[in-house]
Amino acid sequence: MKSAWQIASATDHTRNDPNKDMSPQTQFLDVTADGRPARKVAYMTSPGSGKDAPGLVWLSGFKSDMVSTKASALAVWAEGRGVPYLRFDYGGHGQSDGRIEDFTIGDWLRDCEACFDRLTGGPQVVIGSSMGGWLALLLARSLIARGEGGRLRAMVLIAPAWDMTEELMWKQFTPEAKAVLARDGVFYRPSEYGEPYALTRALIEEGRNHLLGGSGFDPGCPLRILQGLRDPDVPWEHALKLVELLGNEDVRLTLVKDAEHRLSRDQDLALLYSMITEFIP
């Protein structure tokens, strides 16, 4: 497999101000699965040059939402270029129905499939941040399985937390944390970004139905990865393992030496835009 990785100096600065995101009105999509009652998934769309024009789809990270810094900055960037842009909140996140503790990776994948199928037209560049990177890969696998892989123009992943529930959670838990999870069904993991993460036994166990490691995977489209070398949540080695896992020739990993997990500084956003511009001029 031919792939490329490079160290980026990240010295350029974006022209866009994410604080000027003139967000469109929130809308809601009914999503049903497994015979459960319909629930509402919140989304926003920014119209572009036409229904069948190449567009962008944003997939957020765990406990993040569609009005986060990167998602909002990308809205400004897309609007300035007339590019269609879709962003949404998974179940239990942001403005969507439910509590995060009641959902699993499979639920959030169904949200991605429903929004992608019903709210986009032409070929899409899917941009996944952290857990959204894993969901982007799972969405690609789903589309390929049903013969619709051509709907993906490319994928751009930011610190992709692929196989997160197993590799970055379960395998990193202390014996004490595993015991709490087994006893109580939930473990509250401290977070640098606010209140502790409520991680459920269902999240870990159901996540094993969606693991990519060990099987190899070809997403069938160009793939770009942006990763910080100082990321304490998704180590850069995890991104490199993904490059090795992918059976695709057109994969590039860009490592930013001084960046941590969020990758939302002006210079990080500039790198993100440059990656997208390869596929959306």
Enzyme catalytic residues? 130, 231, 261
Is there a contact between 208 and 163 (Cβ–Cβ < 8 Å)? no
The structure tokens 């019903």 sit at: 118
CA distance 137 to 133: 6
What string of DSSP letters covers 229-245?
TT-SSS-HHHHHHHHHH
- Please enumerate in sequence order all residues whose Cβ is within 8 A of that of 16, keeping only pairs 6 or more positions apart, or say none: 73, 76, 77, 80, 269
Token pair, residue 163, equals 């196989």
Is there a contact between 216 and 245 (Cβ–Cβ < 8 Å)? yes
- Please enumerate in sequence order all residues whose Cβ is within 8 A of that of 125, keeping only pairs 6 or more positions apart, or say none: 54, 55, 56, 57, 153, 154, 155, 156, 276, 279, 280
- Please enumerate in sequence order all residues whose Cβ is within 8 A of that of 23, keeping only pairs 6 or more positions apart, or say none: 44, 67, 72, 75
Is there a contact between 70 and 271 (Cβ–Cβ < 8 Å)? no
The structure tokens 């949540």 sit at: 233
